[in-house]
């Protein structure tokens, strides 16, 4: 438990802390990120025990509200809540009242009537988590809103990089592919800046967002200079005839696909999943020891536990809850 | 042609007002008497003729405003605005005339629809209303409307506002045919293959937030096309709601070359930039979108030097539930009639960025010129179309105080300086605080 800093009573804020949300990496400060990663490490060591469940969030209700299909993010949030003994309620848009034309506001109000402690939301529209935060009393965690943000993905990636490379500050990451349509890239760019990492965006001209405040290049050779190559999923719907972001998937793969030949020995490769093997990433790269994809998934669980814990307990202020868990 | 319900002319005396009519060249403390809706005396001291006397000391009496671009949502969306509520909002904003866009349901594309609206306005309108008719049937961009008949029925001008006339060939035909009506075409300039799917100005804010970009060039290439066609056909055009620096530059070149082109700009494009979108508030979503600071400054320069001669609210009411959704799902458009003067006075005149006289001219004489309307003026013998402004008065924009049926203002909660104390439109008192 040494990694969690206790705060003196007199330094605690007066009254109950304001409702905490995790909606965008832009809302975080560097010390927030460090605290979350510390908490995740603490949980990781707890998960080594035979009985993996912690009573920390017993009696709390976590609602997972997913308006977009998702396997790893929804399962990871659900398992994170269960590992912390929270009650969970998982709602998918298909088969719910959303199918009957209910507005997001009304869905949120309805779920809000159950007094959930946390609403985890994934939605195809930018700003949906803010809307839920406005109309309910719950703490809101953004599990991906349109092309805007996916903050827990960025945090789990930082966690993975720190775990695998031993540090964050000063490292250089190249993000490769369809940056324009990627909420993962948007969250990562902010997260890397927050912890003092360098980031270069690499991709076809029309898939690099105009006006983005970042280093950008169309030259795939630029990945050579990076410590980590972060490969984005190439979404097939962007490649439909007539979209013309790139002439063809074949040409994309030839020009920007990540192959062993394009990598330096020992360069780490990450991917938020799901991968299109043979499109943005060569299967030999995906299966190599330098690919951190499974480590990313494992990090996802403990980082999401840390996020749920943090929004509910107010971080270090609520550290007694975790200490109690350790005793239990 | 304008329509309004009939009302008795006012008999009123304004005592000691600062009379400010930039076009007439008046800026002096004077009394003004109105007899039966007509200005009958302007002097240091006038007989009251036993009229009601309004103590206007410290207040500004100016020509009332004209809005060349309003959506009254009637017919079709009377839940969002009606002729009665929209003109009441206009009266409260200091307007003596407004022009309504034809993108209603059904679209105003026939003389029959226009006739019905004119009749409704004669029954319900607090402030004189003019109607623009569509350029193409159903605003479908395929066939021209019967412009000659529409003009005879009183259409003020022609516009497919809300959507562009995509085909250059059809635009040329529209220019040719509109020439026989003597009415201008009011053009919404947007190249849809460049703006498609865009919600926010393409720039650093859209890039960071992940919004599909609606680039400036989507507007300016269409402005350039339409100016070229107007020059070729030697016809006048009016450019609606300009937003981009490149559009302003194109307009300036065209006017210097003698092309008859006018343009308008909205309060929100003069005051806000795409930075406002960071709030993700659907009340800063409009078409064209809020652009970058350089665009805003170019619009302000053009307004100052007269390249852009009119301020238009593009008052676009939307039902609450349609705006209470994530940004990308929300419709484009914000209201503006009740806040236009106050926000521009607060954000541009008070900090010294725009002279008060220029603001008054661009809200009144400028837009009146565009559609060939007699300019509201403070002059003996003129119909009383005047507004009394309390520049020092601060007030908070609150949903409850709107006359408009829709609450989608980007200024909710803001405190503004400058209140419309009284409006006379067509000789009648239509608003008093």
Domains annotated on chain B, with CATH: 64-333+341-353+361-370 (3.20.20.140)
Range of the domain at A188: 151-296
pLDDT given for residue A13 in this prediction? 46
Q: Is residue A1 included in any domain, yes or no?
A: no
Q: Is residue A63 included in any domain, yes or no?
A: yes
Q: Does A146 touch chain B (CB under 8 A)?
A: yes
Question: Distance between CA A159 and CA A38 in Å, rounded?
Answer: 9
pLDDT given for residue A327 in this prediction? 44
Question: Distance between CA B346 and CA A21 in Å, rounded?
Answer: 35
Number of domains in chain A: 2
pLDDT in tens, A169-186: 999 999 999 999 999 999
Q: Which of A41-55, A95-109, B183-197 has the highest mean pLDDT?
A: B183-197
Q: Are A132 and A179 in the same domain?
A: no
Q: Identify all chain A residues contacting B209, using CB atoms and an 8 Å cutoff.
A: 126, 148, 186
Tell me whether residues A213 and B202 touch, CB distance under 8 A. Answer: no
User: What percent of chain A shows pLDDT beyond 90?
Assistant: 76
What's the rounded mean pLDDT across residues B282-300?
98
Is pLDDT of A100 > 80? Answer: no
Q: Is residue A328 included in any domain, yes or no?
A: no
| Contacts A–B by Cβ distance under 8 A | 65
Q: Are A165 and A55 in the same domain?
A: no
Nearest to B211 among A126, A149, A212 (CB): A126
Q: Does A93 touch chain B (CB under 8 A)?
A: no
Q: Are A155 and A286 in the same domain?
A: yes
Q: Are A143 and A160 in the same domain?
A: no
Sign of the CA dihedral A34, A36, A37, A39?
positive
Q: Are A123 and A161 in the same domain?
A: no
**Which residues lie below 8 Å from residue B296, measured CB to CB, with a gap of 6+?**
B269, B270, B271, B272, B273
pLDDT given for residue A52 in this prediction? 83
Q: Is residue A260 included in any domain, yes or no?
A: yes
Q: Is residue A323 included in any domain, yes or no?
A: no
Active-site annotation of B, residues: 314
Interface of B with A (CB under 8 A): 202-213, 215, 280, 321, 324-329
Q: Give this prediction's pTM.
A: 0.92
pLDDT in tens, A189-215: 999 999 999 999 999 999 999 999 999
Q: Are A101 and A65 in the same domain?
A: yes
User: What percent of chain B shows pLDDT beyond 70?
Assistant: 100
What's the rounded mean pLDDT across residues A258-277?
96
Q: Identify all chain A residues contacting B324, using CB atoms and an 8 Å cutoff.
A: 103, 105, 131
Q: Are A131 and A255 in the same domain?
A: no
Q: Which range (A318-322, B83-87, B337-341) has the least confidence?
A: A318-322
Is pLDDT of B121 > 50? Answer: yes
- Tokens standing for A258? 């990540």
pLDDT given for residue B37 in this prediction? 98
- Evaluate whether ipTM surpasses 0.90: no
Higher pLDDT, A323 or A252: A252
Tell me whether residues B208 and A149 touch, CB distance under 8 A. Answer: no
**To the nearest whole number, what is the mean pLDDT of chain B?**
97
Where do we find the tokens 């508030």?
Answer: B281
pLDDT given for residue A98 in this prediction? 67
- Tokens standing for A297? 């998934």
pLDDT given for residue A102 in this prediction? 84
Greatest extent of chain B over all pairs of C-alpha atoms, in Å: 65
Tell me whether residues B280 and A127 touch, CB distance under 8 A. Answer: yes
pLDDT in tens, B150-191: 999 999 999 999 999 999 999 999 999 999 999 999 999 999
What's the rounded mean pLDDT across residues B221-238?
97
- The confidence band for B431, taking pLDDT boundaries of 50, 70 and 90, is very high
- The confidence band for A95, taking pLDDT boundaries of 50, 70 and 90, is low
Q: Is residue A324 included in any domain, yes or no?
A: no
Q: Does A130 touch chain B (CB under 8 A)?
A: yes
CA A306 to chain centre: 12
Phi (first) and psi of residue B246, to 5 degrees: -65, -35
Sign of the CA dihedral A126, A148, A25, A119?
positive
Q: Are A120 and A210 in the same domain?
A: no
Q: Are A216 and A120 in the same domain?
A: no
User: What percent of chain B shows pLDDT beyond 90?
Assistant: 99
**Which residues lie below 8 Å from residue A106, measured CB to CB, with a gap of 6+?**
A97
What's the rounded mean pLDDT across residues A287-310?
96
Q: Are A87 and A28 in the same domain?
A: yes
pLDDT in tens, B63-89: 999 999 999 999 999 999 999 999 999
Tell me whether residues A103 and B324 touch, CB distance under 8 A. Answer: yes
pLDDT in tens, B354-368: 999 999 999 999 999
Is pLDDT of A17 > 60? Answer: no
**What is the Cβ-side half-sphere exposure of residue A292, based on CA atoms within 13 angstroms?**
25
User: What percent of chain A shows pLDDT beyond 70?
Assistant: 86
- The confidence band for A12, taking pLDDT boundaries of 50, 70 and 90, is very low
**To the nearest whole number, what is the mean pLDDT of chain A?**
89
CATH number of the domain within which A136 lies: 3.40.50.1370
- The confidence band for A313, taking pLDDT boundaries of 50, 70 and 90, is confident
Q: Are A289 and A310 in the same domain?
A: no
pLDDT in tens, B243-257: 999 999 999 999 999
What's the rounded mean pLDDT across residues B368-381?
96
Q: Identify all chain A residues contacting B205, using CB atoms and an 8 Å cutoff.
A: 211
DSSP run (H or E) holding B91: helix B83-92
Strand, helix or coil for residue A196: coil
Question: Distance between CA B408 and CA B334 in Å, rounded?
Answer: 5
Is pLDDT of B54 > 80? Answer: yes
Q: Identify all chain B residues contacting A127, using CB atoms and an 8 Å cutoff.
A: 280, 326-328
DSSP letter at A223 equals: G
pLDDT given for residue A239 in this prediction? 67
Q: Are A238 and A169 in the same domain?
A: yes
């Amino acid at each position: 438990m040494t990694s969690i800093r206790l705060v003196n009573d007199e330094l605690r804020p007066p009254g109950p802390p304001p409702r905490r949300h995790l909606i965008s990496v832009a809302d975080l400060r560097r010390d927030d990120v460090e605290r979350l990663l510390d908490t995740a490490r603490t949980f990781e060591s707890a998960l080594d025990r035979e009985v993996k469940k912690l009573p920390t969030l017993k009696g709390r209700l976590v609602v997972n509200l997913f308006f977009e299909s998702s396997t790893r993010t929804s399962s990871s949030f659900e398992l994170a809540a269960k590992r912390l003994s929270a009650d969970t309620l998982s709602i998918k848009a298909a088969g719910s009242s959303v199918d009957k034309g209910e507005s997001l506001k009304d869905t949120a109000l309805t779920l809000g009537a159950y007094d959930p402690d946390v609403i985890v939301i994934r939605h195809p529209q930018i700003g949906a988590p803010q809307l839920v935060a406005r109309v309910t009393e719950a703490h809101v965690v953004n599990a991906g809103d349109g092309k805007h943000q996916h903050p827990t993905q960025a945090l789990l990636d930082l966690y993975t990089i720190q775990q695998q490379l031993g540090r964050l500050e000063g490292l250089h990451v190249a993000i490769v592919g369809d940056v324009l349509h990627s909420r993962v890239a948007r969250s990562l760019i902010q997260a890397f800046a927050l912890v003092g990492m360098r980031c270069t965006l690499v991709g076809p001209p029309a898939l690099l967002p105009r006006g983005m405040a970042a280093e950008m290049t169309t030259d795939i050779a630029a990945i050579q200079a990076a410590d980590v190559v972060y490969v984005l999923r190439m979404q097939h719907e962007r490649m439909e005839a007539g979209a013309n972001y790139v002439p063809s998937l074949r040409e994309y793969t030839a020009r920007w696909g990540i192959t062993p030949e394009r990598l330096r020995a020992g360069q780490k490769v990450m991917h938020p999943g799901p991968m299109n093997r043979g499109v943005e990433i060569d299967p030999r790269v995906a299966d190599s020891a330098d690919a951190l994809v499974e480590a990313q998934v494992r990090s996802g669980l403990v980082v999401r536990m840390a996020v749920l814990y943090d929004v509910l307990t107010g971080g270090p202020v609520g550290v007694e809850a975790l200490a109690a868990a350790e005793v239990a | 042609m304008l329509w309004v319900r009939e009302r008795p002319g006012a008999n009123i005396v304004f005592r000691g007002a600062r009379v400010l009519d930039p076009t007439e060249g008046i800026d002096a403390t004077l009394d003004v008497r109105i007899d039966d809706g007509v200005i009958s005396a302007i002097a240091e001291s006038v007989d009251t003729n036993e009229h009601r006397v309004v103590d206007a000391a410290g207040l500004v009496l100016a020509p009332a405003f004209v809005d060349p671009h309003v959506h009254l949502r009637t017919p079709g969306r009377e839940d969002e605005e009606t002729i009665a509520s929209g003109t009441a909002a206009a009266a409260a904003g200091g307007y003596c005339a407004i022009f309504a866009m034809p993108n209603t349901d059904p679209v105003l594309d026939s003389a029959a629809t226009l006739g019905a609206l004119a009749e409704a306005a004669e029954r319900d309108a607090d402030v004189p209303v003019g109607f623009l008719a569509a350029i193409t049937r159903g605003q479908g961009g395929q066939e021209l409307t019967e412009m000659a008949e529409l003009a005879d029925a009183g259409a003020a001008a022609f516009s497919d506002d809300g959507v562009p006339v995509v085909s250059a060939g059809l635009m040329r035909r529209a220019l040719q045919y509109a020439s026989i009506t003597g009415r201008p075409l009011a053009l919404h300039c947007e190249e849809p293959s460049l703006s498609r799917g865009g919600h926010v100005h393409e720039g650093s804010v859209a890039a960071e937030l992940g919004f599909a970009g609606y680039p400036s060039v989507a507007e300016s290439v269409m402005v350039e096309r339409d100016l070229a066609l107007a020059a070729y056909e030697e016809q006048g055009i009016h450019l609606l709601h300009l937003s981009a620096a490149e559009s302003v530059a194109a307009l300036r070149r065209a006017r210097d070359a003698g092309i008859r082109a006018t343009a308008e700009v909205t309060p929100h494009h003069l005051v806000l930039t795409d930075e406002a979108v960071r709030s993700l508030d659907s009340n800063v979503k409009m078409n064209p979108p809020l652009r970058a600071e350089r665009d805003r400054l170019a619009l302000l320069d053009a307004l100052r030097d007269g390249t852009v001669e009119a301020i238009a609210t593009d008052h676009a009411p939307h039902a609450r539930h349609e705006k209470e959704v994530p940004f990308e799902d929300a419709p484009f458009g914000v209201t503006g009639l009740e806040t236009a003067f106050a926000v521009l006075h607060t954000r541009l005149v008070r900090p010294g960025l725009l002279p008060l006289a220029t603001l008054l001219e661009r809200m009144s004489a400028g837009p009146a010129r565009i559609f060939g309307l007699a300019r509201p003026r403070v002059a003996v013998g003129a119909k009383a179309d005047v507004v009394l402004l309390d520049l020092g008065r601060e007030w908070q924009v609150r949903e409850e105080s709107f006359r408009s049926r829709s609450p989608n203002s980007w200024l909710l909660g803001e405190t503004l300086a400058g209140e419309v104390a009284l409006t006379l439109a067509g000789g009648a008192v239509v608003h008093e605080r």
